Every structure is written in structure tokens, then in C-alpha cells.
Amino acid sequence: MAEFKWVDGGSVTTPAGYKAAGVTAGFKRSGAPDFAMLYSELPATVGGAFTSCTFAAAPVQLCRRRLKEGDTFRAVIINSGNANACTGAPGDEAAEKSCAMAAEALQLKPEEIFAASTGRIGVQLDLETIRKGIELAVPALSHDGGNLASEAIMTTDTVPKSVAVQLEIGGKTISIGAMTKGAGMIDPKMKALHATMLCFITTDAALTKKQLADLVDGGIEQSFNRITVDGDMSTNDTVLLFANGASGVVIEPGSEEEALFRDALRAVMQSLARKMVMDGEGATKFVEIKIEHAPSYADAKKAAEAVANSLLCKTAWFGNDPNWGRVIAALGYSEAAFNPATTDIFYGDMPVVRNGGDAGTPEADLVEIVKQREFTVRIDFKSGDADYWVWTSDVSYEYVKINADYHT
């Protein structure tokens, strides 16, 4: 594991050479901040991953094209309150024009700028509101603007989510900073080069485009692709990792320094993924589902995701009900291969099921486990060497209210 330290109040602008801003352009009827800009003072290589949803939003399609065609980039603009998804050719044009307007204001080329959006689906993006956001954001860009930017990308989030770490490489300090948003419609299953979950990561180290693509791909498999709030994948899920080299540190492919960087990046991504689940819409519980000794990785994954997304399990957890029958039902329909007669289940450290039957632990003891803000459901199939874990939440009355009333 990399030796790194967390930066108090760290954000996407903690690494050298980055500025950000968060402003109110007018997308949200509430008047809350709704437009963010992240800017690199130096050309940056970028790696990305995006939703695998067939109805991928216009900004997602734009980002895919940018990464495929470009080598270095300078900025990303993000609006909240309008997803610019399912908006057809006008939506595609609006995403391109948004970048062109930002490019003009920043004196850059449009192809050096990414766009991301989150909010209501099926509503055309108002370019005058984008223009206002750009006009306000450019003069507000600041090396201290990362936390303001993280507030501006929120939708149903209750808190902004930013982190940063520092580590020593070759006698020099480099930083990794990040911000994310997401509280509902969270089950990303992102694919490299293919929310709403939005995540923007920066580093002042220098890495190649291929390195970043590999690091993002591996990182999301150990973080964002291991979380679910409601089992729904967004049209707009996006992760972008910028590397501008402002620290003067070059991380060579396959080096020990790259391994250290990978560990620190994974920690950043897992921290943000955890924050997303903790802030899940109406969530009162953070639950880790751990599958052990499954016949295969695929079987372990199927089993973990079935339990993590089961509405019956999630509502039982909300009600402090240790009803393990719902867990075995989810395992049973997961299509995972396992032997029920050898399956053990634990809530925390307490046995719930032994060899497919009631373990005899008093229900009152199990209730005390599921009452906790955080607990683990561990399932041991005792039939192989494969493991898998997922972080999930409960489903509360508040979740239903938020999504029944939702209108940014």
C-alpha cells in the first residue's frame, strides 16, 4: 500500500496547476450553485470511463470522442440541473457549442475541453444559461476553488464530496485530488472508452494517456463499480482523470512509482465511492456485502450484487430487521453457482446461517447488528477460492419521497 497522507480540506485543486470555480448560472429553480469549471494551467493527459447505458447522454458521447481523438486537454465544464440526455441532435450540438463558448472565454481550442451534465433527462440544454455560467466561472477560477466546484455539481446530494492525498515520489511531493457527486441512480458499471455519478480527478504528476486509461479502468473496478444505491445506472456516469505534470514528477510505466500511484489513486476513488453510498438518497445504513470462497469470480459477483440490490433486503435493513430469509432468496435467484448445504452467512461476526440453516443466534442479538449505521453481511460458500464485495445502502421512506418529488 502506498505511503500517502490525506489532505485536510483537500479538493480537485490541491494538485499544482489546477483552478476551479462553482457558480449559480440558473439551471436549478432553487438558486443553488449549478455550474462548475475545472481548468488545468498546463496541457494534461486524461483517462476516462463512462456509463455503459445505451442511452448515453450527449456530453458522455462528446467526452468519448475527445478521448479517442485528442492527446492533451485543459478543462471540463459541468452543469447540474439538466442532464442533456435523450435530447437528440440538438443535445449533441449544445454540448459542442458549450465547449466552444468555454474555449473562447479561456482562449483555448474547443477540442481541449470536456463537458459533463447531470439533472433531468429529456430537457434541452439552454445555451444562454451555459453562457452565463461560463461568464461567471472564468473570472472566478481559483487555486482554492475545488470545494466550491464540488458544491456546484450536486443534485440530490446532501453534502459535497471532495478528497485529496499527497505522496512522495523521487524525493518530490505529488498530489491527487478529486470531487464526485452522486446519491441516487447509482449502479455505474462503467466501461473505459465507452450518476448520476460524476467524478473528476486531478494529479500534478506526468503520466501517459495509456497509463491513465489503465489506471482509471483498474481503479473503477475496485471502487465505483462496487457500489449500488438503487440498482439504477445513469445515462451520464463519467470519470475523468487529469495529469498535468506540474510537479515535475514523471511516473514511468511499470515502475515502482506507478504502483505507489495506483494504490493512492485507488484509495481516493474508494473514499469517494464510500461517500456516495453514505450519502445515498434517504440512506440510513452503509452495508458491505462480502462473498467468500465462491466457485468463481463471476459467481461471487452475481451473488454479491443480487443481495446488494434486493429491495427486500434493503427495506429490511432500514427497518432494523435481520430477516436472513431475504438474503438467501436473493442468493438463490442470483444465478450464482454454489451449494446451499455448505453456505454460511454472518451479520458482522455473528453467525446467521450455518450450512444452509438457522445458526441459532438470538434474533435480539442480530437486531443490534442491523441497527448500526454500518455493518457487514458476509456469505461464505465454502466451495472455491473466489471473493467479491459490494457497498450498498438501505431503502427508506425518504428515498421514495425524494424520487417521487424529484424536479431539480
Least confident window among 73-82, 157-166, 282-291, 393-402? 393-402
Q: Grid coordinates standing for 164?
A: 485529496
Residue of 325, 318, 376 whose CA lies nearest to 347: 376
* Mean pLDDT confidence for 369-397: 95
- Are residues 283 and 277 in contact, defined by beta-carbon separation less than 8 angstroms? yes
Task: Round to whole Å and give the CA distance between 239 and 220.
Answer: 9
Task: Round to whole Å and give the CA distance between 243 and 46.
Answer: 6
Angle in degrees, CA 326, 330, 336, rounded to 5: 150
Beta pairing class for 386-393 and 286-294: antiparallel
Beta pairing class for 198-203 and 227-228: unpaired
Which residues is 380 bridged to in the sheet?
292, 344
Catalytic residue numbers? Answer: 196
Task: Round to whole Å and give the CA distance between 28 and 325.
Answer: 43
- Are residues 48 and 193 in contact, defined by beta-carbon separation less than 8 angstroms? yes
How many Cβ atoms sit within 10 Å of the Cβ of residue 360?
8
Residue 248 has pLDDT above 90, yes or no: yes
Q: Grid coordinates standing for 296?
A: 468463481
pLDDT digits (tens, 9 = 90+) for 385-407: 999 999 999 988 887 787 777 55
Least confident window among 79-83, 146-150, 155-159, 321-325? 155-159
Cell 473496478 locates to 221
Q: Provide the pLDDT confidence category of residue 230 given band limits of 50, 70 and 90.
A: low
Which residues is 292 bridged to in the sheet?
380
Least confident window among 26-30, 43-47, 94-98, 397-401? 397-401
pLDDT digits (tens, 9 = 90+) for 5-23: 999 999 999 999 999 999 9
Task: Round to whole Å and give the CA distance between 76 and 66.
Answer: 11
Angle between helices 127-140 and 88-106 (to 10 degrees): 30
Which residues is 290 bridged to in the sheet?
378, 389
Give pLDDT, residue 193: 34
For the chain, list the domains and their CATH numbers.
4-278 (3.60.70.12), 286-405 (3.10.20.340)
Task: Round to whole Å and give the CA distance between 38 and 13.
Answer: 8
When the pLDDT of each residue in the chain is averaged and rounded to a whole number, the result is: 92
pTM comes to 0.91
Residue 36 has pLDDT above 70, yes or no: yes
Residue 94 has pLDDT above 60, yes or no: yes
CB proximity list for 93: less than 8 A, separation 6 or greater: none
Backbone phi, then psi, for 370, in 5-degree steps?
Answer: -75, -10
Cell 448515453 locates to 56
At 105 the three-state DSSP class reads helix
